[in-house]
Chains A and B, each alone.
Chain A
């Protein structure tokens, strides 16, 4: 039983224990029960649990209730921000390091880089931390960046016992190929450096719902990891549906299927819960259309459009025309249909000319929206203009073709107007978002990236073809992450004409 040997390894004297932990195999249970067992022996020191998300912090906190005095649960970014804040003067950081990190592009990455270097050059600082945290548990370590990993390892070298849970098959991120290769290499090195290496292989998550599906997902994971194909020809478990439908869309990121094969797909969308997964952002928008906009887009936790907009507003205060251009770019990020030719150019032109020319109809509406920017040429004017546009989209026939897809991001941009300073406002909105943890909708369309960590009863992955799942390590990981989101039912929409090399049909 892997569960027993993992539990034993965690409790052993081994300094570095690495556990390969596929999703749903009870790693949180293993980590938390180990923490609860050891907490009473911690004395005045502490057991540190490092996660990557606030949600994971909450889960560990509820599983280690009663031990909060000696179990400290942090996001690794939070820990890094604390170290960086303690040494902010030599690291050349401003007073509020957390706000800085939320506001600056790649703020947390830059903090991690500085702190990793600090701890490497000055092991005495790491020794102090290792004394405070003689045991460190790392959750989802495959998500750690090179610098985050270096920080954990500096604690290990300074004397902490480190227990790492990682699923290398969930290593998916938008990095360069070199970064991906480096992450793979870190995993290989980590396994080699470990005093104990264990694997969790019991699919507990499915045990009471759809056990055969869990077993099948574990087998698929092994096949993908070991360079093989996922066999869809035989022994399909209850809950798994393989549906053949060719994507006939002429556009690269579009989606359309023949009427005779569309019915099973639409039928699924009538279920109470459904997560539709696909590869790229653009295809998410296409799928939204495909499902007649009945399914909302899951926006995840990152707000690229808002981040650019806030920076743009801060940089272009007083310049109404530039602000209008930034607003247009933002609209194209969160919506479809607000094209330059139909809306944008006129909108910018109005801002440029001070909204002076009398006009009627659609231009008049655009002028009214742009006037907010002309009157208050900063992020507040932009926010008011966006608010105005929201009303137009809802009420005016001329704006009926404008479709909002990223509602939350759009709402947050309007909220930006309540802050005196665009940068601070963005940082504060980001802070609130991480702490409020938005409720998942019952149904959603999401990219595989943004679905990491989500669980849905009913999952549909499409299109599963050669374009989306080629034979690369990254594709293998993405395919595994996608299929392992499902707890009861999984539908794969596959292609026979352009079959994915990862699937055996």
Chain B
């Protein structure tokens, strides 16, 4: 007599809003995660792992968790903590079949709200259930379902289990799930309730006393005699005895054969251990548990990181991952990226950063990412900052990244600025998207260096003095031929000597700028071949990362710095400031 009147269960459960109050290092957090994979980025100690722990605690499949005062914000346990979520749940999780009915809330952009009885848009409720876990002032955990009438009912283990959470924590305790510790994933997977007592019976039969060598046996007998003299119990022997704090099952763990030797799985490499734990945890979930993976890269080669990310992205589960790994970020093309800042605010990295994610995933992992609009700017800015620091900027978590183009750099800058990630920009003024650039400037201040006019070359070359021209043109290896050739071509000269070129133009600096920038011919009727050839001129000059580095070196060597210092120095100093360094007056 099967009851099949149930409507179909659909969709994996997922958290649509998470709120954390006074839990560990997070005083207050409100976050709207997305379906599928949520990749959490951000520096150390900003609370990424705490967010994951909060989710795992909320859906904890046992009641056994113990709290310490470190679980309370600033150890103020008397104020309690609360982790609450609004979740879309398949009804098959059993939440509406508890002793008391659980009632759904209506989902809205601002979070869960009671359904509007006057709504007339024909849409009906997009239902969510609200659940929470509270840490009480006396270190107890209360799992509760929050009803639309403001009351709270018990949020039972059975429902938490059927929603499911699979957790891979970043710390090295994760061989816990490979052992038969009470409540561990392995314990829940096997769920053999009488194993413990059966084993105890068996072990009780072990003849430990008989295993003793003669010397120890005599010592024990001697002790027995002394006991008798004091009228203490006699006939001493040894046996296996339990007691508080000792768990027989904790000694039992998964083993596997390696080259015909049986080894505990916990003695394998940390990556294997982690993947094994994940499998154990996932094995007893028929449906789509919420997955929580802290520091996904830990112990895994980059190819295994990629595979794991891709598998997690492909699963219907909602997944929460933290990482500091560029290959992981790169592989997570389908994920929603979030940036957690030092105030535990979670900002979304919108889809407009997807190209940057592919191009340079390190952008999202730095303390401060400097988005330079092209290769020249990357080389130039990197050298400039390194010179200001007198050491490698990467030691300070500064990362300079190629934004791809002026407009792409703008898109990335706008997206990152909104997310909370610390970002700086370095760009030309191409006279386009002025409003958007203006907005970004207002947001970033000195962290955005955008030339008032023109580009890097056009801002430096005019300051080169006549006697410095040849030295400026010379490539780092001393060769000048390629660059002189580009200028001679533009003048239609066969002779590419500096003297001939200098004589043939009345503005050699303008000519240098045009060649260095690869400007097209002034004549719009010029042939495509010529246009193409002239465009390539830029590469002979500074249009590469090395070219940008060279330009920076020349600017400093030839004393051009003071002419651009008013624009560049505030930029450099605000980058220094963002990583906690003092401002400098000059760069040498």
Asked if B5 and A87 sit within 8 Å, CB to CB, the answer is no
Point out the residues of chain B lying under 8 angstroms from A37, CB to CB.
Answer: 1
A497 interface residue (CB < 8 Å to B):
no
Indicate if the CB atoms of B96 and A118 lie closer than 8 Å.
no
* Chain B, residue nearest A120 (CB): B124
A-side contacts of B117, CB under 8 Å: 87, 90-91, 114, 117-118, 121
> CA–CA, A283 to B198, complex, Å?
80
Distance in angstroms from B102 CB to nearest chain A CB is: 8
**B91 pairs with A89, CB closer than 8 A:** no
Asked, given contacts A124-B125, A131-B96, whether A41 binds B3 with beta carbons under 8 Å apart, the answer is yes
- Given the interface contacts A87-B115, A128-B91, A129-B101, does A158 sit within 8 Å of B7 by beta carbon? yes
Interface string of A112-128 (1 = CB under 8 A from B): 00100110011111011
Contact A125 B125 (CB under 8 A): yes
A162 to B, closest residue via Cβ: B5
Chain A, 68-97, contact with B by CB distance < 8 Å: what is the 0/1 string?
A: 000000000000001101111111000000
B550 to A: closest C-beta gap in Å: 65
The reply to whether B124 and A159 form a contact with Cβ atoms under 8 Å apart is no
A45 in contact (CB, < 8 A)? yes
* Identity of the chain A residue whose Cβ is nearest the Cβ of B6 in the assembled complex: A134
A45 touches B97 (CB 8 A): yes
Q: Which size class do B's interface residues fall under?
A: 20 to 34
The winner among B4, B117, B148 for most chain A CB atoms within 10 A is B117
Contact indicator B104/A124 (Cβ below 8 Å): yes
* Inter-chain contacts of B106 with A (CB < 8 A): 122
Could you tell me if A121 and B6 are in contact, using CB atoms closer than 8 angstroms? no
Question: Given that A117-B117, A132-B96, A132-B97 are contacting pairs, would A87 and B7 also be in contact in the complex, using a CB cutoff of 8 Å?
Answer: no
Kindly identify which residue among B3, B91, B102, B126 contacts A43, using a CB–CB cutoff of 8 Å: B3
Task: Tell me whether B103 is interfacial, beta carbon within 8 Å.
Answer: yes
Q: Are A87 and B3 in contact (CB under 8 A)?
A: no
Chain A nearest CB from B118 CB (Å) reads 8
CB-defined contacts of A41 to chain B, threshold 8 Å: 1-3
Q: Judge whether B103 and A128 touch: CB under 8 Å.
A: yes
* Minimum CB–CB distance for A224 against chain B, Å: 36
Inter-subunit contact B3/A90 (CB<8 Å): no
Chain A residue nearest to B126 in the complex (CB): A124
Q: Which of A11, A13, A45, A87 contacts B103 (CB 8 A)?
A: A87
A159 to chain B, nearest CB (A): 4
**Cα(A11)–Cα(B101), bound, Å:** 26
**CA separation between A189 and B250, bound complex, in Å?**
65
CB distance from B99 to the nearest CB of A (A): 10
Docked pose: A376 CA to B94 CA in angstroms = 55
A44 engages B115 (CB within 8 Å): no
- CB of A38 within 8 A of CB of B3, answer yes
Nearest CB in chain A to that of B129: its residue: A128
Most chain A beta carbons < 10 A, residue from B3, B5, B147 = B5
Which residues of chain A in 320-340 are interfacial with respect to chain B, using CB atoms and an 8 Å cutoff? none
Least CB distance, B10 to chain A, in whole angstroms? 11
Q: CA–CA, A463 to B150, complex, Å?
A: 56
Chain B hits for A160, CB < 8 A: 5
Task: For B102, give the chain A residue with the smallest CB separation.
Answer: A128
A112 to B303, CA, bound (A): 61
Chain B residues, Cβ within 8 Å of A87: 103, 114-115, 117, 148-149
Which residues 30-47 of A sit at the B interface, judged by CB distance below 8 A? 37-38, 41-46
Cβ of A450 < 8 Å from any Cβ of B? no
Q: Please tell me if the beta carbons of A86 and B147 are within 8 angstroms of each other in the complex.
A: yes
Known contacts A44-B97, A90-B116; is-contact A127 B91 (Cβ 8 Å): yes
**Cβ of B127 under 8 Å from chain A:** yes
State whether the Cβ of A67 lies closer than 8 Å to any Cβ in chain B: no
Contact between chains at B124 and A121 (CB < 8 Å): yes
Distance A122 CA – B94 CA, assembled complex (angstroms): 20
B433 to chain A minimum Cβ distance, whole angstroms, is 44
Known A117-B117, A132-B96, A134-B5: A89·B101 in contact at CB below 8 Å: no
| Cβ-defined partner of A132 (8 Å) among B1, B3, B101, B114 | B101
Known: A38-B3, A122-B115, A131-B6. A82 touches B101 (CB 8 A): yes
| A contact residues around B101 at 8 Å (CB) | 82, 86, 128-129, 132
Q: Which one of B104, B119, B120 has the highest number of Cβ atoms from chain A below 10 Å of its Cβ?
A: B104
Residue of B nearest to A86 (CB): B103
Contacts of B5 in A (CB 8 A): 15, 130, 134-135, 159-161
Cα–Cα distance between A161 and B2 once the two chains are bound (Å): 13
Closest-by-CB residue of B relative to A95 is B149
Q: Report B503-533 CB contacts with A as 1/0, cut-off 8 Å.
A: 0000000000000000000000000000000
Find chain A residues with CB under 8 A from B114 CB: 87, 89-90
B149 touches A88 (CB 8 A): yes
**How far does the alpha carbon of A13 sit from the alpha carbon of B1 in the complex, in Å?**
10
Q: B114's closest neighbor in chain A, by CB?
A: A90
Which of B3, B91, B94, B126 is A42 in contact with, Cβ under 8 Å?
A: B3
Among B91, B115, B147, B148, the residue within 8 A (CB) of A131 is B91
For chain B, residues 84 to 119, give those with C-beta under 8 angstroms from any C-beta of chain A.
Answer: 91, 94, 96-97, 101-104, 106, 114-117, 119
Contact in complex: A118, B115 (CB < 8 Å): yes
Which residues from A are CB-within-8-Å of B97?
44-46, 131-132
Bound together, the chains give a CA A89 to CA B94 distance in angstroms of 25
How many Å lie between the Cα of A37 and that of B3 in the bound state? 12
With both beta carbons as reference points, the residue of chain A lying nearest to B115 in the complex is identified as: A122
Residues from chain B with a CB closer than 8 A to the CB of A42 are 3
Closest residue to B124 on the A side, CB-wise? A122
- List of B residues within 8 angstroms of A124 by Cβ: 104, 124-127
Which of A46, A89, A127, A132 lies in contact with B148, CB distance below 8 A? A89
Among residues of A, the one whose C-beta sits closest to the C-beta of B119 is A121
Q: Provide the bound-state CA to CA distance between A118 and B126, in Å.
A: 14
Contact B3 A135 (CB under 8 A): yes
Residues in A whose Cβ lies below 8 Å from that of B119:
121-122
* In the bound complex, CA of A13 to CA of B6 (Å): 12
Whether B149 pairs with A128 at a CB distance below 8 angstroms is: no
Q: Which residue, of A87, A130, A161, has the highest number of chain B Cβ atoms within 10 A?
A: A87
Measured between alpha carbons, how far is A38 from B1 in the docked complex, in Å? 7
Taking a contact as CB atoms under 8 Å apart, the answer to whether A127 and B7 are in contact is: yes
Q: Which of B165-185 contact A (CB under 8 A)?
A: none
In the assembled complex, which residues on chain A have CB atoms less than 8 Å from the CB atom of B124? 121-124
Does the CB pair B6–A125 fall under 8 Å? no
Residues of A near B2 (CB, < 8 A) are: 41
List chain A residues, Cβ under 8 A from B149. 85-89
A125 touches B3 (CB 8 A): no
Write out the residue numbers on chain B whose beta carbons fall within 8 Å of the beta carbon of A118: 115, 117
A90 & B91 in contact (Cβ 8 Å cutoff): no
Which B residues from 361 to 395 make CB contacts under 8 A with A? none
Q: A89–B112 Cα gap in the complex (Å)?
A: 14
* A15 contact set on B, CB distance < 8 A: 5
Query: With the chains together, A39 CA to B184 CA distance in Å?
Result: 35
Residues of B within 8 A of A128 (CB): 91, 96, 101-104, 127
Give bound CA distance, A429 to B103, whole Å: 30
| Residues on B with beta carbons closer than 8 Å to the beta carbon of A91 | 117
Chain B hits for A46, CB < 8 A:
97
Within 8 A of A (CB), among B142-163: 147-150
Q: Compute how far the CA of A481 lies from the CA of B512 in the bound complex, rounded to whole angstroms.
A: 108
Residues of B within 8 A of A127 (CB): 7, 91, 127
**List of B residues within 8 angstroms of A130 by Cβ:** 5-7
**Shortest CB distance A417–B (Å):** 33
Do the beta carbons of A159 and B7 come within 8 Å of each other?
Answer: yes
Interface pairs A-B: 7 shortest CB-CB: A159-B7, A124-B127, A122-B125, A90-B114, A131-B91, A134-B5, A124-B125
What are 23 A-B contacts with C-beta separation under 8 Å? A13-B4, A42-B3, A45-B97, A46-B97, A87-B103, A87-B148, A90-B116, A90-B148, A91-B117, A121-B117, A121-B119, A124-B124, A124-B125, A124-B127, A125-B103, A125-B125, A127-B127, A128-B91, A129-B101, A131-B7, A134-B5, A158-B7, A159-B7
Inter-chain pairs besides A114-B117, A124-B104, A131-B7, 12 sampled, C-beta below 8 Å: A13-B4, A87-B148, A89-B114, A117-B117, A118-B117, A121-B124, A127-B7, A129-B96, A130-B7, A132-B96, A132-B101, A159-B7
